Structure 1
């Protein structure tokens, strides 16, 4: 658990799908094209960065939790994604280098995120979460956990933030 957030949930964030949806967002829900943001996108060679919604950063910060990158972007999430969302540098889950098989239907991130949470409450926002992951966490994690699958075609929506906010409010008296 990160100092200063004792008792507050950690929110593990994936990038591709939840923050960079596979389908372009409506024009009013993403960074406008042009200007320095466009030049940076071209320089980085990733045109999908224009699909980031700067409002997601504000909404994530407003949840009052410790935000942690749980993405294969690793440290590049702080270099490339955080500034575009108005986020500070965040802790990054350091994935192991091995290709160990996790088992039938279990996402390879699940055991590591559960271990990282160290029994504390956490939310995991990812587009690859399944019921197998939820069952595994329920059986092995003593704290509250919300494994929330974000639609990778739309990315995070107001409805997704409402679910997380409601889950956090429900745990206020027990966290």
Structure 2
């Protein structure tokens, strides 16, 4: 089975910083932040040897809106539990570990912290890369290269 790459939308794919429009502006009353999506991200992500999975509050709307603009196929979506994890652990973390079901995974998000890394290390038996993306700039080639290098380091 392939490793999983969990993708957040707001921050990594739609940066929060003041950036120029990268793609055509949203029309018809759409979300104006969608113009910040970079179509190159779809090409970069699709080239990685892993299963891409949405890990975002966009839920299946990520398939209807974001995937289309990035040229990605319909992706699986993590269905997060309703309860909050203990302490400073991000609310997504237990759901990602459950979805991965023992498979190696990488997670691209702008809200990853030390508590998440500690929680994953204690609750997930396989390798995991929790890679924080700078939300001001969004996903960069260096971020994707870091994931690619990590994926390449996994034993076949």
- The CA RMSD measured in Å over matched residues stands at 1.3
User: Which residue matches 1:17?
Assistant: 11
Q: Is the 8 A contact 2:49 2:151 kept in 1?
A: no
Map residues 1-175 of structure 1 onto 2, 5 A cutoff: 6=1, 8-26=2-20, 30-31=22-23, 33=24, 38=25, 41-96=26-81, 98=82, 100-171=83-154, 174-175=155-156
Larger CA Rg, structure 1 vs 2: 1
Q: Residue 66 of structure 1: CA displacement?
A: 0.5
Aligned pair count? 156
Query: Matches of 2:80 and 2:89 in 1, distance apart?
Result: 16
1:24–1:51: 8 Å Cα contact kept in structure 2? Answer: no
Please list the CA deviations of residues 106-150 of structure 1 after superposition, one character each: whole Å capped at 9, or x if unmatched.
000000100100000000100000010000001110001001110
Segments of structure 1 that go 5 or more residues without pairing to the other structure are 1-5
Once residues 19 and 54 of structure 2 are traced to their aligned partners in structure 1, the CA distance between those partners, rounded to angstroms, is: 22
Q: Which sections of structure 2, spanning at least 5 residues, go unmatched?
A: none
1:55 and 1:68 map into 2 onto residues whose CA distance is 18
Runs (4+) of structure 1 exceeding 6 A deviation are none
Question: Separation in 2 of the partners of 1:147 and 1:138?
Answer: 11
What is the SS of the residue equivalent to 1:146? strand
